Structure 1
Amino acid sequence: MYALRKIKKINPMITTATSSNTIANMREEEQSCTNPSCFFCNMKEPDSSLRRSGILNCFKEIPLTDNREHVLVLSSLWHIAMTHPDDPEFPSLGIFRCMAKLIYKGLNDRIWLLRDQNMYIPYYAAHVIGSYTMNKAEFAEMAVESGVIPPLMELLRGKISWVEQRVAVRALGHLASYEKTFEAVSVYEEEVVNLAMKLASTCLEEVYVEFVGVKNIDKRLKYHRDLLTRGVGDSEMEDRKAEEWASQLQCWSIYLLNCFACKERSLNLICRQIFLRDLCDMWGGLVNHASPAWAGLVRILCYSKYGRKSIAESKEIIENLCNLSRSSDDWQYMGIDCLLLLLTDQYTRYRVLEKIALFLIDLAELGSLGDRSNLGEAITKALLLDYKESKLKLKNQKIQKALQDIWNFKAERRKENLISEETLEERRVLVNLVKQEANHVFWLGEIEEALAKYTEALGLCPLKLRKERMVLHSNRAQCHLLLRDPDSAISDSTRALCLSNPANSHSKSLWRRSQAYDMKGLAKESLMDCIMFINGCMKAGTTKRVKIPYYAARMISKQMDATWLFSTARSKITSSSQVRKEQESDGHHESNNDELLQHGEMTRMMMENKECLSGLSTIIEEPNLLVKEGSWRKVDQRARRSSKAFVARSMSVKFA
């Protein structure tokens, strides 16, 4: 009965996924079906033993026969695997061996692959393998015993297209994540690691060149378009879905590398400086919030001595870790973890201390962050490790002074435990008086004098008065902004956000740090802070309709364009457009197929057989599982519609 319920769920999907002629043919065949190996008839069999026997025969017969309905069977199996990945029925009946044979058939028989709708079959076969091995180690063992790794490796090598590479790297990542099946993947260790590194580094450019950058829809592969949008979307929807899939391809490639890095395997390959430099740009984008991308791999590398040594030598990685640690990114804690691991290793400590000390000092008063508590204390302890020795080794006087300040801060915290409530209240009144003076001179336009007054107030303010100190740091950040000093503005804004409760929740500081990051050209960090600022505005709204400040909406629009997943690929293509125009002017016109830019042999054959593919029916693809429907999307739409210029409203942001 359970299988009968599943087939009832499949039927609507099959109906949606086929043309009207195909539906009519299916109905006629359903009424007079005499094929004992018909998958759909066997699924409807009420006798469980007969149903299992029939499905077992189906899985044996499908790779050996050529039937137009096989693609419908595969799409149905994909739907079942995605919705019931822990159900042991199909894995126990030989589905993995069937999928492996189908992938091989597509790779070895290209005439068959390009006939009817068979182009979809290798994609769905690899997707079924990945879905069933996602949660269950025993299913992964069955898959390996059924010989799925060699055909998946062929897809990973790019024998068809990037769409099949996406599901192949996903399936191999699941297989490599289990102890008992890891060794089967590691048979191809060097090749797998090199391919995953290459995919992670180049997949965005490839997807842009082969799909997103192809503005003439007729020149995009039809079955790619159908898979991406279920055959009912326009070019905008195709681009949006392609962005999601490209992000997944990159993140799943990094996940496959994680499986080797956590076992300290192939670190000599993964830790190449050229790859670490590329890794910094692999942040997943807003379309793949579930993956820590580069930060997750770097943290795993930091758990090993060899990895820490390589990370400490990468200037780009250290800079990105420092920026991540002072951001409102979900993976902020990973950046802090990596920096602490580098600081507590005596071999890497003095290689990175001068580069990261000022960044971590701003986080010394950080309380809880997610499920981590007392992070500020851990940071202070790591910074002051071997404090006297550090003062002798460090040549930078600014860093020496900063460490001295953090040492004094720690001592002052102990002393304040003895301050009486009466004394504390007197200090609060005094601090407020100085702050009011600072506010007054600020509004008179004396920014430097206001900055000095806020600094004076901070010197008088006890550490226990966290809210008052948060406001002072935030107001001082505003002064730094007006004085065009973004580094100091980021430092003060970060300190204010560490003092907020919960951390990173003070809206004014978020907006000020977003502006400061924008001044420095750090679009991703600016975007994250601006999104958090807008979310805070929405939560603070008393009505259902919240008015978003247009200057924040414009900032979102600006930074989303700068951080678009394909922005780098787009700039490369744009820079090479002049060369192509010159070639065209000289009469060196390329063919329509070549305009898709560097397709592989399989892709060229698909374009040559374009007429065969043009009639492919729509196949339903999985829902957008990884995209969080956030309010920032509406904000971006609002920003893009706005015709007003972006005006810095620094003076209009009220001080607390």
Structure 2
Amino acid sequence: MKEPDSPQRRAGLANCFKQMPLRDDQANVLVSSGLFHIAMTQPDDPEFPSLGIFECMASLIHKINDDKWLHWDQNIYIPYYAAHIIGSYTMNKVEFAEKAVESGIIPPLMELLRGKKMSWVEQRVAVRALGHLASYERTLEALSAYEEELVRLAMDLASTCVDVVYDNFVGVKDTRRRPKYHCDLLTRGVGGVEMENCKAEEWTSQLQSWSLYLLNCFAYKERSLNLICEEEFLKNLCGMWGGLANHVSPAGVGLIRILCYSKYGRKKVAELNEVLESLCNLSRSSDDWQYMGIDCLLLLLKDPDTRYKVIGVAFFFLVDLVELKDLGERSNLGEAITKVLLLDHDHKQIKKVKLINDNNISSKVQKALEELWDWKVERRRKEKALSDEKLEERRVLVGLIKQQANRLYCLGEIEEATEKYSEALALCPLRLRKERMVLYSNRAQCQLLLEDPDSAIRDSTRALCLSTPANSHGKSLWRRSQAYDMKGLAKESLMDCIMFINGCIKSEDHQMITTNTKRSNNVKIPYYAARMISKQMDATWLFAAARSRVNIASKKESHDDEGQYYKEIMMMMRNMIDNRGLSTITEEPLRVKEEINRRKLERARRISKRAVVK
């Protein structure tokens, strides 16, 4: 590397790449590590690919079949470095990918992917490299000889890697039994068990996401859809989330959206209620991938073959989004949603479909379609004809009704307040977006106190669609976070709570700017939001399900009396049911009518006046 004469330097490097697979000393580990760092920092430099680095790495990976070589000295580190080097150089340049394929790197990468000789650590970098090869049209065909095996391996990795890593690494109680070379690769010798677990979570999320990316490449070309669309795997996709450790990956929903672009994929997705419900919940969340959930549902509703299978589920989620203006780079999204939902606004056409289609539109959906038509078409047309004077009269009247609702709320008359907010919404002109946002948000708070999380989610979602920008109204975010918590939707609750806290921080920053004061080291975050974050991060932890499975199995084995074990489980579930609701803010009220009214009044006042605490 330090040779000043370029021809001599290149000749020396080429010779080094030829000799490395033939050597059996510790130098190979040091050289592989050095090449790994160079490939990571300079992936577009053509020098090493032109001098035979791919042939060298392929030969080194092939040596895993020699157990004596693999377990001698530090050779066990080499396959990881070799596959990572291949993946880095094939990441951006199609010509490098072609060179890698010509150098015979696919068979050794497949050997690593199978996991028979090595572990999940090597599978992670192998699937990364193969994903890069599959992303180029010129090299995708080179993988066709392994397509079925490759797709099945990627599906299995995506579905099982979380459990595998937990069982073999994160969940190992005696950390001395963790593979040493795993610990070394994860932390580079810096940090202890906490750092190891943190990096293991990040790497596991990447392993899952890169496996899904590989499947995306085949699904995009409508290849192997019969395998990818297997029922069990589609259900598993709903639980695959990039998470906070890998927030740049759309994970499972990214693949579902790719599938929804094909007719076969839409057919399979439309048959599974679990997948539809997951997409619906995503469409009404503040997740970065909200738009993907919306896209999937619109694609399913536009297809005549799937529309009447999904509209009974999707309609009542999407209707809450019809006033959404802009979402990221997408403009007038609400209008696009309205247009798709109202494809059947001709009532005669609806009745005809009901006669010829087994999956007919229910009377509930038909009524909702008529209400949407009246709301988005008829009401808008009538309000356009109103004079400015009439609109101002409406605005004043709505303000008076809102004051009455607020007074009833403070008196603890929650049901009556809810009715008043509804009355105000019925009169409030559509163009008064800010006023309607507040009314929806206030009614959502009432729904929370009435322990109706579904209605609270609907109203807070409508309020968030009316906010500018979308999903920015703090009170609505917090209220929807609580409602999702009541329904056990931890991820959706977590995303709303994070957005709420971000809003608190931005508000504090704005106050600092306007008052010319310096920020203190301790940002003020509401304690109830901090508690919610802690609760939902634990519930959405990548290994939460694996941990629960192991704990339950361990507890079950420790009980001699199986009947006693199930009795305790039932008692635990009963306690969870008794303590659900707004328990993140206050204790659950006693089941006495007078006590309920008193506690609701106290709660309403406390929430409305609660100061932000450190």
TM range (shorter): 0.7 to 0.9
Aligned to 2:47: 89
For residues 433 and 578 of structure 1, the distance between their equivalents in structure 2, rounded to whole angstroms, comes to 59
| Deviations, residues 248-288 of structure 1 (Å, cap 9, x unaligned) | 00011111100110010111111011111111110111111
Aligned to 1:473: 440
Check if 1:501 corresponds to 2:468.
yes
The TM-score normalised by the length of structure 2 is: 0.88
The 1:57–1:304 alpha-carbon spacing in structure 2 relative to 1, beyond 3 Å, is same
Q: CA deviation at 1:534?
A: 0.4
Aligned partner letter, 2:74: Q
Aligned partners of 1:551 and 1:647 also within 8 Å? no
Aligned to 2:13: 55
Aligned to 2:524: 547
For residues 25 and 585 of structure 2, the distance between their equivalents in structure 1, rounded to whole angstroms, comes to 59
Task: Count matched residues.
Answer: 553
The 1:489–1:337 alpha-carbon spacing in structure 2 relative to 1, beyond 3 Å, is same
Aligned partners of 1:123 and 1:164 also within 8 Å? yes
Check if 1:560 corresponds to 2:560.
no
- Secondary structure of the residue aligned to 2:246 is coil
Aligned to 2:85: 128
Aligned to 1:390: 350
Q: CA deviation at 1:60?
A: 0.5
Aligned partner letter, 1:117: Q
2:546 to 565, 569, 587: 569
Aligned to 1:443: 410
Aligned to 1:429: 396
Residues 337-348 of structure 1: pairs in structure 2 closer than 5 A: 337-348=295-306
Aligned to 1:323: 281
For residues 433 and 330 of structure 1, the distance between their equivalents in structure 2, rounded to whole angstroms, comes to 38
Q: CA deviation at 1:309?
A: 0.2
For residues 428 and 578 of structure 1, the distance between their equivalents in structure 2, rounded to whole angstroms, comes to 61
Residues 277-296 of structure 1: pairs in structure 2 closer than 5 A: 277-296=235-254
Check if 1:401 corresponds to 2:359.
no
Q: CA deviation at 1:350?
A: 0.2
2:260 to 302, 305, 311: 302
- Secondary structure of the residue aligned to 1:385 is helix
Q: CA deviation at 1:386?
A: 2.5
The TM-score normalised by the length of structure 1 is: 0.82
Aligned to 1:110: 67
Check if 1:75 corresponds to 2:14.
no
The 1:651–1:94 alpha-carbon spacing in structure 2 relative to 1, beyond 3 Å, is farther
Q: CA deviation at 1:415?
A: 3.3
Identity percentage over the alignment?
71
Aligned to 2:565: none
Aligned to 1:333: 291
User: For structure 1, which segment, 536-545 or 74-83, has the greater mean C-alpha deviation from structure 2 after superposition?
Assistant: 536-545
Aligned to 1:137: 94
Q: CA deviation at 1:425?
A: 1.9
For residues 227 and 581 of structure 1, the distance between their equivalents in structure 2, rounded to whole angstroms, comes to 35
Aligned to 2:153: 195
The 1:423–1:582 alpha-carbon spacing in structure 2 relative to 1, beyond 3 Å, is closer
Q: Over the residues paired in the alignment, what is the CA RMSD in angstroms?
A: 1.7
For residues 341 and 288 of structure 2, the distance between their equivalents in structure 1, rounded to whole angstroms, comes to 24
The 1:95–1:580 alpha-carbon spacing in structure 2 relative to 1, beyond 3 Å, is farther
Aligned to 2:334: 376
- Secondary structure of the residue aligned to 2:244 is coil
Check if 1:653 corresponds to 2:607.
yes
The 1:651–1:280 alpha-carbon spacing in structure 2 relative to 1, beyond 3 Å, is farther
Aligned partner letter, 2:306: T
| Deviations, residues 522-580 of structure 1 (Å, cap 9, x unaligned) | 01100000000000000001242431110110001111111110011111111221465
Q: CA deviation at 1:75?
A: 1.0
Q: CA deviation at 1:507?
A: 0.3
For residues 88 and 388 of structure 2, the distance between their equivalents in structure 1, rounded to whole angstroms, comes to 61
- Secondary structure of the residue aligned to 2:245 is coil
Aligned to 1:460: 427
Aligned partners of 1:477 and 1:512 also within 8 Å? yes
Q: CA deviation at 1:651?
A: 4.2
1 or 2 for the larger relative contact order (CA 8 Å, sep ≥6)?
Answer: 1
Aligned partner letter, 2:425: L
Aligned to 2:383: 416
Q: CA deviation at 1:426?
A: 2.0
| Deviations, residues 353-410 of structure 1 (Å, cap 9, x unaligned) | 0111110000010000001011101100100113223366355333222211110122
For residues 343 and 404 of structure 2, the distance between their equivalents in structure 1, rounded to whole angstroms, comes to 40
| Deviations, residues 490-528 of structure 1 (Å, cap 9, x unaligned) | 000000000000000000000000000001010110000
For residues 53 and 438 of structure 1, the distance between their equivalents in structure 2, rounded to whole angstroms, comes to 83
For residues 407 and 579 of structure 1, the distance between their equivalents in structure 2, rounded to whole angstroms, comes to 55
Aligned partner letter, 1:279: L
Q: CA deviation at 1:423?
A: 2.5
Aligned partners of 1:489 and 1:512 also within 8 Å? yes
Residues 509-548 of structure 1: pairs in structure 2 closer than 5 A: 509-541=476-508, 542-543=511-512, 544-545=519-520, 546-548=523-525
Aligned partners of 1:474 and 1:508 also within 8 Å? yes
Aligned partners of 1:555 and 1:646 also within 8 Å? no
The 1:550–1:391 alpha-carbon spacing in structure 2 relative to 1, beyond 3 Å, is farther
Aligned partner letter, 2:531: R
For residues 545 and 604 of structure 2, the distance between their equivalents in structure 1, rounded to whole angstroms, comes to 31
The 1:650–1:164 alpha-carbon spacing in structure 2 relative to 1, beyond 3 Å, is farther
The 1:95–1:427 alpha-carbon spacing in structure 2 relative to 1, beyond 3 Å, is same
Aligned to 1:361: 319
Aligned partner letter, 1:207: V
Check if 1:183 corresponds to 2:141.
yes
Aligned to 2:449: 482
For residues 315 and 645 of structure 1, the distance between their equivalents in structure 2, rounded to whole angstroms, comes to 30
For residues 439 and 120 of structure 2, the distance between their equivalents in structure 1, rounded to whole angstroms, comes to 52
